[in-house]
Structure 1
Amino acid sequence: MAIKPKILIVEDEISIARGLTDLFIFHGFDVVCEQDGQQGLTTALSNKFDCILLDVMLPSMDGFSVCNAIRTASREQPIVMLTAKSSEEDIINGLTLGADDYIAKPFSVQELVLRVKTILRRTGWHQDKDRLNLGDDITIDSENLTGTVRGEENIFTRREIDILTYLHQHKRPVPRTELLTNVWGYAKPSLIDTRTVDIHIAKLRKKIEVNCKNPQLLVTFRGEGYKLIV
């Protein structure tokens, strides 16, 4: 019997929780569902999940706090935040705390399943090499999600390493939509209103640049995209 991917859904609205549970069971997932933030965190930390769907508004402990606690315990655990459609602040907070992706309510169930499957599929470019060298003074261990930046140890998320690896492999400015397609797996990135790429690039610059306000390694080419200069 094939092993099913295991997903944890933390959602307090009963109708949504039931709908998501049925949806992912239909698509071949082993589903665990919690409706309380604290209980969701306990379940997340005491089991192994291939992905966690995490609502922002939860009783006893909000989704941001849950995300932060999960990310503190595991840098590699895939987390997708479910946010209010109009709340850009929620999106920024979730991504800053380490969520891999977000999807706004009300959402397309087809898009949600696609986004989760894309995360699980992990297109594989980060597996080509365990070590990524960005010049003489930056070395990143893509397996252990750590790096040495000018002699100092730093921690990276899987998504950050995916971005760096993709940019490193493509010796040209890479458009934002291309990153959304090939790193995040969005089917129609031009139709998506998201600051996902911007936020991750800003986080990476803080980690690898001498001066993140005047980047020399991860450079923006206006009208063309981002290029890694090493």
Structure 2
Amino acid sequence: MTTKPKLLIVEDEPIILMGLTDLFVFHGYEVESESDGKKGLSKGLEGEYACIILDVMLPSISGFEICNALRQHSLSQPIIMLTAKNTEEDIINGLTHGADDYVAKPFSTSELVLRVNALVRRSGCTATDKTLALSPNVSICTQTLMGLSYQHEIKYTRREVEILMYLLRQNKPVSREELLKEVWDYKNTCDLDTRTVDIHIAKIRKKIESDPKSPKHLVTHRGEGYQLFVI
């Protein structure tokens, strides 16, 4: 008997929470839920989940705080944020606190299921234990998601490592749309917001570049995409 992947949904609006629970049960998931931020964090830290869906605005503590605490506890836990506003600040805040992806309210249920399914699939395909060396000063263990960058110990998310590994294999500029298809595993990118790619690239640059404003490893080719260089 196949074990169903387990989700944790932390959402304080009862109607939305009930709808999301029914939605993902229908799509083959086992679902646990909380409407309070502190209780959601406690459950997230204690349980094992294929993915955690976090609303931003919650009683007691925010989704951003929960996301940050979960990421400190586990680098590999898949997390999706539900943001009330599709603003640059909300998106940056969520991804900066360690979310793998975000969906803005009001959202399409089919899009949310698509993103959760893609993230769960990707999380089951972690890289084998190896070192990704970008230069004598920058190296990353793709299994532990830890690295050294100019003598500083750096934590990476699984998504960041997957982006780097994919770019390294291509040895050419890669567009945002290609990254969404190949790394995020989205089948149709026509209507998807590509800012999540830009924000992840900015976060990676801060970790691997000595000067993120003048990158030498992760370079943007205008009109073509991003390319990773080993120096």
Give the TM-score band, short-chain normalised: over 0.9
Query: How many angstroms apart in 1 are the aligned matches of 2:229 and 2:105?
Result: 38
| Bigger mean CA deviation after superposition, 117-126 or 27-36 | 117-126
- Matches for 1:149-168 after TM superposition, within 5 Å: 149-168=149-168
Question: 5+ unaligned residues in a row in structure 1: which ranges?
Answer: none
Instruction: Report if the CA contact (8 A) 1:34-1:40 is conserved.
Output: yes
Aligned to 2:122: 122
Looking at structure 2, the residues matched to 194 and 127 of structure 1 have their Cα atoms a distance apart, in angstroms, of 25
- CA apart distance, 1:181: 1.3
Matched, 1:78 2:39: no
RMSD: 1.6
Q: In structure 2, the residue corresponding to 1:81 is in which secondary structure?
A: strand
* More divergent stretch after superposition (170-179 vs 119-128): 119-128
1:148 corresponding residue in structure 2: 148
| CA shift digits 1:142-172 (9 cap, x unpaired) | 1100012233321111111000000000000
Q: Aligned to 1:40, what secondary structure does the other structure show? A: helix
Report 1:15-26 matches (<5 A).
15-26=15-26
Is the 2:176–2:194 contact (alpha carbons within 8 Å) kept by the matching residues of 1?
A: no
Bigger drift between 56-65 and 144-153 goes to 144-153
Aligned equivalents of 1:123, 1:43: Cα separation in 2? 20
Instruction: Indicate conservation of the 8 Å contact 1:52/1:80, yes or no.
Output: yes
Quick check: 182-191 or 172-181, which moved more?
Answer: 182-191
More displaced, 14-23 or 150-159?
A: 150-159
Shift of 1:176: 0.9
Cα distance in 2 for partners of 1:145, 1:54 equals 23
Q: Is the 8 A contact 2:131 2:140 kept in 1?
A: yes
Instruction: Write the deviation string for residues 17-65 of structure 1: whole angstroms up to 9, x where unpaired.
Output: 0011011111111100100111100110111111000001111111111
Using a 3 Å threshold, how does the CA distance of structure 1 residues 124 and 227 change in structure 2: closer, same or farther?
farther
Q: Distance in 2 between matches of 1:194 and 1:37?
A: 29
The AA in structure 2 aligned to 1:74 is: S
Please give the TM-score of this superposition, normalised by the length of structure 1: 0.95
Partner residue in 2 for 1:113: 113
The 1-side partners of 2:162 and 2:66 are apart by 24
2:184 paired with 1:197: no
Indicate if the aligned counterparts of 1:67 and 1:98 stay in contact, CA closer than 8 A: yes
1:72 match: secondary structure: helix
Gaps of 5+ in 2: none
After superposing on structure 2, the runs of 4+ consecutive aligned residues of structure 1 that deviate more than 3 Å are 123-126
| SS of equivalent to 2:57 | coil
1:229 is displaced (CA, Å) by: 1.1
- SS of the counterpart of 1:213? coil
Number of residue-to-residue matches in the alignment:
230
Which letter does structure 2 place at the counterpart of 1:122? R
The answer (yes or no) to whether the contact 1:125–1:162 under 8 Å persists in 2 is: no
Residue aligning to 1:223: 223
Structure 2 length-normalised TM: 0.94
Describe the SS at the equivalent of 1:199.
Answer: helix
How many angstroms apart in 1 are the aligned matches of 2:85 and 2:92?
13
CA distance in 2, matches of 1:186, 1:174: 15
Percent identity, please.
57
Give the C-alpha shift of residue 136 in structure 1.
Answer: 3.2
Secondary structure, aligned partner of 2:154: strand
